[in-house]
Structure 1
Amino acid sequence: MTSNVISLVSVGAHPTSGRPRRAEQDARAVELGLQMAGDKLQVLHAGDIHEPTLRSYLGMGLPQLHVLEQPAGADALPALSEYLRDAGAQVVLTGSQAETGEGSGMLPFLLAEQLGWPLIVGLAQVESIDAGVAHVLQALPRGQRRRLKVRLPFLATVDNAAPKPRQSAYGPAQRGELAAHEVEIEQDELFTGALLQPAKPRPKRLKVIKAKSGADRMKAATAKASGGGGQVLKGLSPEAGAEAILKLLIEEGVVR
């Protein structure tokens, strides 16, 4: 389809154990890139070339993976944008959000802004590329798709609706080459001064009664109350009423 395709990859983390792994959406970006460019696909990572997890991407059948050598805490944005300009990339594929580090999901937006390229969010499939124009499918909620037309070059974040990545094989992973590139290192001052900690689970939402009219909502509310699941508070002091409400919020997970 086209030979100037670059997929950006990062080091992921298993959602339960936290052990390093290939990032799920980045692997989908590699899979989509392989379907578009075959063995001409370039895969790029900014970070430590000695990270063992990078070989799991090589195990997908890649002969080479390019690494912009950077220490932890360095800003990957300047190095990536400079490399992509010099490489003459026409299509750049990324995951939507890193599984480690900041995980803000801002890199694709900042990268597209620096390069001056259009950005497609939630790419599911590239249907065709002809005369410098790509026809793609964008994933929407509830399984819907939107057909878009975008002029090259462009950057796209890959959605979970994109093709599932192939398994990583041990042999190709060991035979593949990690190609190091020296780049100018710029410290990410915002990230360096930040304190990383595990994210707290979101509070459980209270059930919202959906009805078209006020009468329907009233009927649903009274039917729920008559089912014995609620509690009517009568003759209580304000302190006792507040304590009962707080207890309910704690039980529902709204307040911790």
Structure 2
Amino acid sequence: MTKLRIAVLVSVGAHPISGAARWSRNDALALAMAQEMVKGAADIDVIHAGDPAEPALRDYLALGAVSVDAIEAPCGRDIVGALAERVRGYHIVLCGTRAESGEGSGLLPYLLAQAMHAPLLPAVLTAQLHADSIVTQQFLPKGRRREVAASLPAVLAVHPLAPFEPRHVYARQRAGHVAARVARVVGAPLAAARVEPAVAPPVKLAARESRSGRARLLAATTLQSRGGAVITHGTAVEKAQAVIAYLRRHSLIDY
């Protein structure tokens, strides 16, 4: 294989208390994972789509990036096309699962993988290179994990629980630089945002637990059934009567 090329996509985050612009922890996880994979054996290009004059981009220099390549795309435009053109030819593209501020819905890794015609590995906790493929450990609910392999090139979306020990070095922040370039591919205008009042979600009825703490813990960490019955036969009236009987038995209704 030719020389390995790795790109890390970074965005501008927001401080959870003050809201001030800073580095995004999710994207910093992607940068740390890339550094751990190559251990200095390959160059890592850090890419940002947005304002190159944003001071928060220099935080990534302090976290180990040699430089940050900022694509100066017009505000309010889709940046997927510009990013796909910029990372063409790279073997691995890493980014956080979602952004911390702005129009960050978590769709960027999926749209980018689709534009690159490359496989996407979401919720990645660790990654290891093997010849022309990459093996990742993915996060699953209830503490489970699984290994998934994919051929290169590939897009990796790093899970927020991936191991991370930030090392902010001021000297590296001063030594690095942010390079600006104008996007050649300009996407369509994004749909205007619409503000709507929040609607409280419906409250789910839950039967009172009568099991021991050990039994509840086992049920939460395993795939065993919690009981109940699946009614597949009978009329709609008979099924409704069974549901009402269950609600009355567990004191969820009083009629």
Provide TM-score, normalisation by structure 1: 0.75
Distance 1:188 1:22, change over 3 A: farther
Give 1:107 shift.
1.2
The amino acid that maps onto 1:190 is: L
Contact 1:43–1:65 (8 Å) recurs in 2: yes
Give the gaps of 5 or more residues in structure 1: 226-231, 234-256
Q: Is the 8 A contact 1:94 1:157 kept in 2?
A: yes
Bigger shift: residues 56-65 or 150-159: 56-65
Question: What is the aligned-residue identity percentage?
Answer: 33
The SS at the match of 1:71 is coil
- Number of corresponding residues: 220
Deviation digits for residues 216-247 of structure 1 (CA, Å, limit 9, x no counterpart): 9668724x89xxxxxx79xxxxxxxxxxxxxx
In the TM superposition, residue 108 of structure 1 has moved relative to its aligned partner by 1.0
Letter in 2 for 1:111: L
1:46 is matched with which residue?
49
Residue of structure 1 equivalent to 2:36? 35
- State the alpha-carbon separation in 2 of the partners of residues 134 and 140 from structure 1: 19
1:145-182, Cα deviation, whole Å (9 max, x unpaired): 11111101100110022121413232211221112222
Partner of 1:236: none
Q: C-alpha displacement at 1:190, in angstroms?
A: 2.6
Corresponding residue of 2:180: 180
Aligned partner letter, 2:72? E
- Choose between structure 1 and 2: higher helix proportion: 1
Summarize deviations over 1:12-44 as a string: whole Å, max 9, x none.
Answer: 122343221211211100110111234521111
> 1:68-147 residue pairs with structure 2 within 5 A?
68-85=71-88, 88-126=89-127, 128-147=128-147
Structure 2: stretches of 5+ with no match in the other structure: 210-225, 230-241
CA contact (8 A) 1:112 1:118 kept: yes
Alpha carbons of structure 1 residues 156 and 205: separation in structure 2 relative to 1, 3 Å: farther
> Structure 1: how far apart are the matches of 2:74 and 2:56?
16
Separation of aligned partners in 2, 1:131 and 1:102: 36
CA distance in 2, matches of 1:185, 1:61: 29
Name segments (4+ residues, structure 1) moved above 6 Å.
none
Kept after mapping to 1: 8 A contact 2:121/2:155:
yes
**RMSD of the TM alignment (CA)?**
2.8
Q: Secondary structure at the match of 1:172?
A: helix
Distance 1:218 1:79, change over 3 A: closer
